[in-house]
Amino acid sequence: MTVSETSRQHGAVLPKATRTKVLQRQGAAVALVLMVAVSWLVFPRFGSLDNLRDLALQGSFLVVIAIGMTFVIITGGIDLSVGSLYALGGVLAAWGSQYGFLAALALPLVVCGLIGLINGLLIARTNMAPFIVTLASLLFARGLLLAITDEGANTYQIPADSAFVELGRGTVFGFGYPIFVAAVLAVLGGMVLNRTNFGQNVFATGGAEQSAVLLGVPVAKTKVLVYTMSGTLAGLAGALTAAYLQSGVTVIGVGLELDAIAVVVIGGTLLTGGMGTILGTVIGVGLIKVIQNVINQIGTLDSNYQSVVSGVFLLIVVVLQRILRR
Amino acid sequence: MTQETTQAATRTAASTTAARTRWLQDNGVYVAVAVLLLFNALFTANFLTLGNFTTQLVQAAPVLIVALGMALVIGTEGVDLSVGAVMALAAAVIPLYLGAGPLVAIVMALVVGVLAGAFNGFLVARVGIQPIVATLALLVGGRGLALVIADGQLVQLHDETFLELGTGDVAGIPISVLIAGLLALVVAGLTNRTTFGRQLVAIGGNRKAATLAGLPVNRVLIGVYAITGVLAAIAGVLATSRLAASDPADMGLLMELSAITAVVVGGTPLTGGKVRVLGTVFGVILMQLVRATLIKHNLPDSIAQMIQAAIIIAAVYVARERR
Amino acid sequence: MPTDPVIEVAGVTKTFAGVRALGDVDFTLQRGEIHALVGENGAGKSTLIKVLTGIHTPDAGSVTRNGHISTIYQEVNLVPLMSVSANLFLGREPRNRFGLIDRARRDADAAELLRGYGITADVSSPLGTLAVGEQQMVALARAVAADADVVIMDEPTSSLEPREVETLLGVVRKLHEAGIAIIYVSHRMDELYRICDTVTVLRDGVNVHSGPLEELPRIELVSLMLGRSVKEIEKHGTTAFGEGHQADTQPVLEARDLTSKPRIGGVGVSIRPGEVVGLAGLLGSGRTETAKAIIGALPLDRGTVLVAGKPVAHNVKASMRAGISMLAEDRKTEGIIPNLSVRENIVLAALPRLSRFGVTSRSRQDRIVDTFIKRLRIKVSSPEQKVAELSGGNQQKVLLARWLCTEPKILLLDEPTRGIDVGAKAEVQELIDELAGEGLAVLLISSELDELLDGADRLVVLRDGSVAGELEGDQLTREHVLAAIAAEVMDDSGDHAGSHQDSR
Amino acid sequence: ETPTTATSGGPAASAAQNQSAGPGCARSTTGYPQVDVKGAVVGFSQSEKEANPFRTAETASIRDEAAKRGAELLYTNAQSDLNKQISDIKSMIDRGAKLLIVAPLNSDGLQPAFDAAKAKQVPVITIDRKVTSKPCTDYLTFIGSDFVEQGKRAAQQMIKATGGTGKVAILLGASGNNVTVDRTKGFKDGIAGTPGLTVVAEQTGEFDRSKGQAVMEQLIQSNPDITAVYAENDEMGIGAVTALKAAGKQPGKDIKIVSVDGTRNAVQLIADGSYTAVVESNPRFGPLAFDTLEKFGKGDEIPQNIVISDDEYDSANAAQKLGNAY
Ligand SMILES: Nc1ncnc2c1ncn2[C@@H]1O[C@H](COP(=O)(O)OP(=O)(O)OP(=O)(O)O)[C@@H](O)[C@H]1O
Ligand SMILES: Nc1ncnc2c1ncn2[C@@H]1O[C@H](COP(=O)(O)OP(=O)(O)OP(=O)(O)O)[C@@H](O)[C@H]1O
Ligand SMILES: O[C@@H]1[C@H](O)[C@H](O)CO[C@H]1O
Ligand SMILES: [Mg+2]
Ligand SMILES: [Mg+2]
């Protein structure tokens, strides 16, 4: 009897919780679908295959970075260095491309992964705040980038006929390879997050760090891994971008970390850690890119209004999420 | 017996190293400033001149003013990414009202700061949005709004009285430095000597407990963000006056990161519950001296950025809270 | 006595930033025994456990483990945002043939496993949506499921209701039958004497006694823990409450029809000055919610709170102004501000009163803080000591001081003695008596029936968020309370009540 | 001709004599269809916010000219984001732009956008910043200043003003920007034959007035013997003036200041006597760009590189030419 009473109580609480959960989880998705539908109706060009392809391609680089960011944020951390690592990765890839495909790909992954590893070690082993550690690496990576490009004077070109360019420029049905790379990584990321012990450790670390330690979760190792991952993925996104642009452009990635954080949050991942999904993040990227695209479709909008619109949009999404979560 | 004595010996040794790290943790930023001053005195040409110190203080003043507000917000376990955008808003507002006199222009700029800050505070306290995200929205949109107000243009300013703020001095001390110093004293008094200040720290230390203790949590939070907003606006006004132009496109760009760095380097933990005002002052001075040293030694941008990174890590490493 | 130690500790010392938590401790756990580990707050029990499990490395000494250890730590140490099943199997998830976590099987296994502990909640929902007791059960199930030779339980029952305590003790017996050794930490004497074979007493980080528990009279055990003579302790009974109180006739607090769906519905309580009213009920019956509703910390659908006949606006500030103060249940998350000093923690709620024009007055603070440190016998090196450095009992006293500082007319105490040792507990109980004697109206919430029966002049019993009965005078007996709580609970705990009597 | 707005006033850029170089490019070579400028949809991709007078004047010039010639102008602003500029260009093509004018953010990285234009046979004229892609293939032609030459001319002005002796501080443009690289190279080459002029400091002011001011304040303290400042744009030069005045110096007199751009504020300072000289970087690309498009449309051969003539302002002509400044 008491037992059934307990379950009755839960019965009373749960359906509402589930309902909210659905709304929360799918809230961003619903918003995305609505926005796409409206944009399609209002701007005939929005739905053109070319536009959609470009939308997906532009989103793919951010998705790659934001996957890493999602892991980091779920552990309760933050990674401000991704924008710089993205630019650095691109430069390294372009420079490495003179030694062949493998060098072009491996160099950014290794170097950016290494910087991520150092981020992780500093955060996990010394109890320094992720915000400040990765802020320092933001500066460091930018400095390193300038150092290897003669203060930015050298832009390394990737030979147009190299296999590496194909990685950025090749298409299947007109959809660029980076889209597929991002898609595969998103699926993998979701799998790792939800279906592996490491993923569970990520949730546990962010959900209740002290408890996680006592539950035998290798918290320090988990943190080191997520920052390494985030650095590596930022480097990869940079490499893909370099392949796409056919050169190691030095002036990209400034402020990209804030975009990445914004899409992760819009996707419903808790900034305090312990909860989040890769799918949400992908949807978050979709929302941001669609908004940008629509602003372009309007065409006549004063460019200064664009950031106002983005800011207001971000606000609406987080406020709505907050209200739904109540 | 022997074992016990060795243990006792290691214990005292351990406690003296503990005491030493503890001391460094509390005073690391002062030591760092002293070391950097010494280095410059020895190796930097023309460093020990009044003019040079004045320059450093003048350049540090706006950052300090913003960092004071940031320290308060961080004390509540929050953060304010919008301070740079608020500076830009303040800058954009000034030319609109300068015709009505500098006082009107300044007051309007400060009003904008208060409103922006209170808006942030409202989002954080009432709506319950994470401070980073709440203020990110204003970071993204605020500068755009400033540019819309200013029609995207830099405006040259000619009002002598207004420009005096940036160039004038009282008894040899530049006005902006004086204002910054005064504000530091006010904020120190506010945190340590007023109900508001103690409540702010308590909220940062344990918000739930503070609520149950009947503290006016929402009011304090909104107040703190409003203060931060108005401080950012003051910094924007001073910087605008010193530049002799309203430049919303660049005013306060990346200021949020400089301010947070200074606060954290000054020993205020990002986890809240503690505000170190003097530490913040020295955190700002430390970062200012680092930049000055790098420029004066004509280091290229690349090396300069890497050294800054290393110094931030070192300073925060020393000041970090041990587990 | 056969010796087959699964854990052997020799000469272990552990120091935290100059504070000695353990000094040269020897400790042996024999295979299959249930070993009680007792001591005052801060005696070093949890630290010893963390040394045993390898969470802390000792500064000196050796630890030998001859088997796999599984631990339930003092506070529920699970991850509230993760699902129940994920918590249960964290680190040993069932895999499918691709090496990926098999979520369907994980959920099925979890549901199956938890049914044995009387938990039927949806295992795929976040753990945090379960009641604390249920969470504790999940932690227990997790620890037991991990094929261990040793199970350590650090105060597993401190947040359990009687029925759940019985379930837990049943599990302990089963483990014992299966030959698993158990270390059992508790401040509840009854439990210890019911299930433990041997006992180790820690005092100030030193092992002052190890031996069979049966042979050790309860009073001597307490004397060992406290380091006071048996005589001194004999003066007190099980609780430190005195006789009843002289209460006024007009209630100072009247709460009517408090309703906050779905937790409480139509609860009414009234307290007269000088009266201690106890709030009894099972875990989740809505006691905490009732207290929070009275102080205005819980959004209400309906209901009014009157102080001295006047309605009070429904928010914490207004309630406090009207003279209501509440000691929250969870000291750590709802009580102390860890970074602040003892002084600042004490004056926190009274700060506006101790300030002029918003500027604080240090001398006024010092005066009042000194008074309370003396009156409540709070053990501090200085009022400027960080409150986080104090032992649990002393933190609790600091919080009591915080509320007394506000000069309340009505004091709501939610589990004021939870997790604090016998010594501190007695002091807090005496204090409650004293306060009531001075004319304060006290609402006392406690999961320990003895505490309620001895301490309260009148009991309000809650069931499922509404009042199931009020007991006074002769009705203040265990049987009556249990009958009011729920008939079926009394049925199967009747003989436990009996065994309580036996062990006294 | 009476200027309608301040920014569009001043002489339009005209091709400098004998400076248009390279083999010609005609519609017959590219195989692009004929497009009449009148009534055509023309896309203009601006790279940066219009806070800098240079950008304001540039956009105004294109807008005015499009209106004058009866073309429908699509406008986008990439807000200094390279990926956005690529999307911007692609989306304008998508929205039906038949002709494109692009002010590239940087010399590298626009290849994907050019490829998209090529695929749709849309001719692209780049203005202001020269890109590393292939003229007549990837884009039609480049119209703009020779930044190295600007640096050299600034050096000449500097030598003239200082009499060939002095200590020079350089306020560099943004790191990683090819304008910075070229203007630095030109200046250094220009003073190479003048051993009396030595560069004692070079620090970045990021093309920004307040940064230029802050850096100058530092330099004038540590190097009080500085006698000349070369600023790689006017904004930084103006910042330097403010800094020098505050340090009790007389800019234009005891410290010579030479910069590049030709903004009204800087030229005014010359007229006032507190600035030495400005080498113009002419932003009024509109007429020349549309002329070129028309010529190309008609089937005429156009040069692959159209270097426009830049003026110079010094104390001798500043007051009288102030109306030309933007
Ligand atoms: N991580 C730590 N850092 C500093 N001091 C600590 C730490 N952990 C424990 N202590 C101190 O060590 C002593 C022993 O604490 P411990 O938690 O072992 O006590 P306990 O016997 O479990 O008490 P309780 O009954 O309250 O749970 C206390 O003085 C405590 O303050
Ligand atoms: N809205 C809610 N959703 C989920 N769980 C809740 C909610 N409200 C309360 N609980 C949980 O239910 C538990 C029991 O509720 P409540 O606090 O009313 O019980 P109680 O009678 O005060 O018992 P005790 O104080 O011994 O925990 C709480 O500890 C809390 O964890
Ligand atoms: O030539 C222009 C201007 O000099 C401007 O100041 C920076 O961008 C360059 O392209
Ligand atoms: Mg303990
Ligand atoms: Mg309770």
Range with top average pLDDT, B152-161, C11-20, C438-447, D263-272 = D263-272
In chain B, domain spans: 50-321
Q: How far apart are the first and last CA of chain C?
A: 27
Where does the pLDDT of residue B10 fall: very low under 50, low under 70, confident under 90, or very high at 90 and above? very low
Question: Which tokens sit at B302?
Answer: 């690349």
* Tokens linked to C196: 């433990």
Higher pLDDT, B116 or C75: B116
Distance between CA atoms of A87 and A108, rounded to whole angstroms? Answer: 10
Which atom of ligand 1 sits closest to the CA of residue C393? 26
Residue C497 has pLDDT above 60, yes or no: no
Residue B148's pLDDT is what?
92
Model pLDDT, residue C230: 72
Pick from C18, C333, C348: which is nearest to B213 by CB?
C348
CA dist., res. C446 & res. C462, Å (int):
12
State the burial class of residue A98 (Cβ atoms within 10 Å of its Cβ: 0-12, 13-18, 19+): middle
**Residue C461, by phi and psi: left (phi above 0), alpha (psi -120 to 50) or beta?**
beta
Mean pLDDT of B84-108: 96
- The pLDDT assigned to A23 comes to 57
Q: Please, what is the average pLDDT of chain C?
A: 85
Query: Measured between alpha carbons, how far is A174 from D202 in angstroms, rounded to an integer?
Result: 47
Q: What is the DSSP letter of D139?
A: B
Q: Does D69 contact ligand 3 (Cβ within 6 A)? A: no
**Tens digits of per-residue pLDDT, A214-245?**
888 999 999 999 999 999 999 999 999 999 99
Choose between D12 and C428: higher pLDDT.
Answer: C428
Ligand 2 pocket check: which of C132, C135, C285, C412 to mutate, most ligand atoms within 8 Å of Cβ? C132
* Angle at alpha carbon of residue A44, lines to A38 and A48, rounded to 5°: 105
Distances (CA, A) of D185 to A149, A247, D154, D174, D302: 16, 22, 11, 14, 29
Q: What are the residues whose beta carbons fall under 8 Å from the beta carbon of C206, sequence distance 6 or more? A: C23, C24, C25
Strands (E), A197-250: none
Nearest CA to ligand 2 atom 27: C283
Query: pTM for the whole thing?
Result: 0.87
What pLDDT was estimated at residue C305? 94
- In 3D space, the residue among D83, C99, B162 whose CA is nearest the CA of residue A83 turns out to be D83
Shortest-distance ligand to the CA of residue C125: 2
Please choose, from the candidates A326, A52, A125, A76, the residue with its C-alpha nearest in 3D space to the C-alpha of residue A226. Answer: A76
Q: Which residues in chain D come in under a pLDDT of 50?
A: 1-8, 17-18
Closest CA to C65 of C80, C54, C76, C73: C54
Whether the CB-CB separation of A297 and A40 falls below 8 Å is answered with no
- Residue of A215, A272, A275, A325 best to disrupt the C interface, most CBs of C under 10 A: A215
A217-234 burial, b at 16+ Cβ within 10 Å, e below that, comes to bbbeebbbbbbbbbbbbb
Q: String of b and e for C114-146 (b: at least 16 CB within 10 Å)?
A: beebebebbbebbbbbbbbbbbbbbbbbbbbbb
Taken in order A199, A201, A205, A208, the sign of the CA dihedral is: positive
ipTM value for the complex: 0.85
The whole-number pLDDT of residue D14 equals: 65
* pLDDT for position D157: 96
The torsion angle over the Cα atoms of residues D194, D197, D203 and D208, rounded to 10 degrees, is -90
**Lookup: tokens for D253:** 């007199």
Q: What is the position in ligand 3's atom list of the atom closest to the CA of D147? A: 1
Interface of A with D in 56-95 (CB under 8 A): 58, 61
Strands D99-102 and C324-327: unpaired
Which residues are near ligand 1 (CB < 6 Å)? C 16-17, 19, 21, 39, 41-47, 74, 391-392, 421
Per-residue DSSP letter, C351: G
What's the token pair of residue D199? Answer: 């560069």
Interchain proximity C317–B216, CB inside 8 Å: yes
Chain C residues near any Cβ of chain A (below 8 Å):
55, 71, 73, 76-82, 86, 90-91, 93, 99-101, 103, 118-122, 125, 129, 131, 134, 163, 262, 282, 284, 464, 486, 488-489
Give the pLDDT score at C244: 64
| B316/A133 CB distance under 8 A | yes
Confidence of residue C242 (pLDDT cuts 50, 70, 90): low
Whether B contacts C, i.e. 3 or more CB pairs less than 8 A apart, is: yes
For residues C11 and C25, what is the distance between their CA atoms, to the nearest angstrom? 5
In chain D, what percentage of residues exceed pLDDT 70?
Answer: 93
**Could you tell me what percent of chain C has a pLDDT over 90?**
41
DSSP D32: P
Q: Which fold has domain B50-321?
A: ABC transporter involved in vitamin B12 uptake, BtuC (1.10.3470)
Strands D99-102 and D41-46 turn out to be parallel
Domain at A48-325: CATH architecture: Orthogonal Bundle (1.10)
Does the pLDDT of residue C171 top 50, yes or no? yes
Sorted by sequence, the CB contacts under 8 Å of residue C106 that are 6+ apart come out as: C85, C86, C89, C93, C94
**pLDDT, averaged across chain B:** 91
Handedness of CA C368, C371, C377, C380 (dihedral sign): positive
C444-462 burial, b at 16+ Cβ within 10 Å, e below that, comes to bbbbbbbbbbbbbbbbbbb
User: pLDDT: is C344 or C144 the higher one?
Assistant: C344
**What are the phi and psi torsion angles at D212 (to 5°)?**
-60, -40
3-state secondary structure of D152: helix
Q: DSSP string of C193-252? A: HHH-SEEEEEETTEEEEEEESTTS-HHHHHHHHHT--HHHHHTS-SS---S-----SS-S
Enumerate domains of chain C plus CATH numbers: 7-237 (3.40.50.300), 253-486 (3.40.50.300)
Which residue stretches of chain D are H helix? Answer: 27-30, 53-68, 82-94, 111-119, 147-162, 178-191, 209-222, 234-246, 264-272, 286-298, 318-321
Question: For residues D306 and D287, what is the distance between their CA atoms, to the nearest angstrom?
Answer: 13
Helix or strand or coil: residue A91?
A: helix
> Band of the pLDDT at C249, cuts 50, 70, 90?
confident
Taking the domains of chain A in order of start, what are their residue ranges? 48-325
What are the tokens at A124? 């996990």
Q: Which pLDDT score, from 0 to 100, does residue D12 have?
A: 66
C193, amino acid identity:
Y
Q: Return the pLDDT at D16.
A: 57
Q: Which amino acid is at B306?
A: M
Higher pLDDT, B275 or C464: B275
Residues of A in contact with D82 (CB under 8 A): 245, 249, 251-252
Spatial separation of the C-alpha atoms in residues D152 and D183, rounded to whole Å: 8
**DSSP bridge pairs for D77:** D46
**What pLDDT does B5 receive?**
33
DSSP class per residue in B91-132: HHHHHHHGGG-HHHHHHHHHHHHHHHHHHHHHIIIII---HH
Q: List the one residue out of D88, D101, D112, D17 whose CA is nearest residue D61.
A: D101
Contact status, residue D9 vs residue D323, Cβ threshold 8 Å: yes
Tokens of D196: 């009396």
Tokens 């919780």 belong to A17
Give the residues of chain A that fall short of pLDDT 70: 1-26, 299-300, 325-326
Given this model, what pLDDT does residue A241 score?
96
> Can you say whether residue B101 is alpha, beta or left, with left for phi > 0 and alpha for psi between -120 and 50 degrees?
left
For residues C21 and C204, the answer to whether their CB atoms sit within 8 Å is no
